[in-house]
Amino acid sequence: MPVDVRWATAADASALAVMLCAMAAHYRQPPLDHERALSAARKWLGEESPAYPHFALAFVEDEVSGLASVAIAHPGVDLERLLFLKDLFVRDQVRGAGVGRALIDFLADHCLSHGIGRIDLTTEDWNEGALRFYARLGAERHGQKIFLRFSGDALTVLKPGA
């Protein structure tokens, strides 16, 4: 089954909204209102810098089937940019059909053609399917870092003047 992967543009807002809603349902989050997701997708795809695309979408037979949400970070100690893969999600009905692999291949090709030295990502320690998938592709577990987060009250406390 051929998979078409491309960077999302403003014209793909509806497809991105479909994926955001499917992702929320898959991860057992409260249902995401499609109109709210569409509004967010339009904003993100319309306002973000075209130099740093943030969403790759995969289509199977013209139906949106997968999503990769990424950010490109600039130099660290090795002076190479990196692509951080925030989310990789494939709809249930096409899991195991090569959509995830097509998204990773697309990102790898982007990295190689744009001088980006690596792809970094995280996944939940309980997500055995994702861990097996990434291991099959050659990803290495990199135990040197601990994932931390500022959100909610902790983020508010950091606000100047708080």
Helix/strand/coil for 39: helix
pLDDT of the residue at 14: 97
162: Cβ–Cβ under 8 A, 6 or more apart, which residues? 156
116: Cβ–Cβ under 8 A, 6 or more apart, which residues? 72, 80, 81, 82, 83, 110
As given in the structure block, the two tokens for residue 149 are 């987060």
pLDDT of the residue at 161: 72
CB 104 within 8 A of CB 89: no
- The CA dihedral of 110, 111, 115, 116, to the nearest 10 degrees, is 140
Q: Output the pTM of the full model.
A: 0.88
User: Considering the domain 3-158 in this protein, what is its CATH number?
Assistant: 3.40.630.30
pLDDT of the residue at 94: 95
Query: pLDDT truncated to tens, each residue of the chain (162 aa)?
Result: 799 999 999 999 999 999 999 999 998 899 999 999 999 999 999 876 555 568 999 999 999 999 999 999 887 767 888 999 999 999 999 999 999 999 999 999 999 999 999 999 998 888 898 889 999 999 988 887 778 788 888 888 887 776
pLDDT of the residue at 125: 86
Domain boundaries, given as residue ranges, for the chain: 3-158
